Amino acid sequence: MDKVEFCQKLAEILDIEEVKLEDVLNEFEQWDSLAVLSALAMADAKYGVTIRADEIRSVVTAGDLANLVEEKQKQLALKP
C-alpha cells in the first residue's frame, strides 16, 4: 500500500493541505462524523476493505488507520 497516497486521500477528506502518518486524527477539527463516514467509504471503494464502526473509533493516528486498511487487505488476500 502506498502510504503517501493514503495520506493524500485523508487530506482530501479533511480538506486540508497535508496529513502525516503520525498525526492524531482526533486533533483535527475536521475529523467529525462526516469525515469518519468518508474514510469508511474510501477504505471500501479504493481499497476494497470494510472497516467497522468500533475499529475506526479505536484508531489514533493516520498511520494506525493506514495499517488497519493494509492489515485487512492482507487478510482478504489470504482468504481462499
Partner 1 sequence: MKTIFKNRKISSIVTVVPKEEFRFDDEYPAFKLTEGKAKRFKKMMSLDRHRIAPPDVCSSDLCLFGLQQLLDEGVLKKEEIGALVFVSQTPDYFMPPTSNVIHGRLGLGQDVICFDINQGCTGFLLGLVQSFLLLEISALPKVVLLCGDTCSKQMDRCNRVSYPLTGDAGSATVVERCEIENPIYAAMKNDGSRHKAIYVPAGAYRTPATPETLEVREAEEGVPQSLQHIHMDGPAIFNFTMEDVPPQVEEILSFSGDTRDSIDCFLFHQPNPFILTQMAGKMRIPQAKLPNNIVSIFGNCSCATIPLNIAFNFAEQLQQGSRRVCFSGFGVGLTWITMVLDLGPLAVCSVVDY
Q: Which is nearer to partner 1, 21 or 36 (CB)?
A: 36
Contact 64, 51 (CB under 8 A): no
Nearest partner of 29 among 14, 10, 7, 11, judged by Cα = 14
Q: Does 16 bind partner 1 (CB under 8 A)?
A: no
Residue 24 main-chain phi, psi, to 5 deg: -85, 120
Binding residue for partner 1, selected from 3, 56, 61, 68, defined by CB under 8 A? 56
Residue that is written with C-alpha cell 476494497 in the block: 48
Q: Does 21 bind partner 1 (CB under 8 A)?
A: no
Q: Does 67 bind partner 1 (CB under 8 A)?
A: no
Least gap, CB of 64 to partner 1 (angstroms) = 16
